[in-house]
Amino acid sequence: MNTEIACIRLGNVHMVPEKHRWLHEKRVEEVDNLMHYILSQWENGDDGGLVDLRLVAQHYCRNMTRKLIFN
C-alpha cells in the first residue's frame, strides 16, 4: 500500500498521529467546559470557593468517554 499515514508502536498500542489531531479538538473543547465549571464553582460557591477536584475529574473522564463514543 502506498499511504502517507504513519503508524507508531508505543508499547502494546499502535498510535496514528492523524487520529491524535482529531482527538485534540475534542479534548480542548471539554477542557474549556471543565475550566468554565471550575471558575463558576469558585466564584459562586457557598463554601468559600472550594472545588471538589475528585468530582471534576470524574465528570471530565465521563464526558470525554461519552464524547468519543457517541459524538
Task: Dump pLDDT digits (tens) for 19-48.
Answer: 666 777 888 888 898 899 888 888 887 777
Angle between helices 17-44 and 53-70 (to 10 degrees): 140
Q: 44 in a domain, yes or no? A: yes
Q: How many domains does the chain divide into? A: 1
Q: Per the confidence metrics, is the pTM higher than 0.85?
A: no
Q: In this structure, how many other beta carbons lie within 10 angstroms of the beta carbon of residue 59? A: 14
pLDDT for 15 equals 66
Question: How high is the mean pLDDT of the chain?
Answer: 78
DSSP state letter for 15: E
Helix, strand, coil distribution of the chain in percent, nearest 5 = 65, 10, 25
Q: 45 in a domain, yes or no? A: yes
The whole domain housing 59 covers 22-70
Identify the residue with better confidence: 71 or 60. 60
Identify the residue with better confidence: 34 or 13. 34
pLDDT tops 70 at residue 1:
no
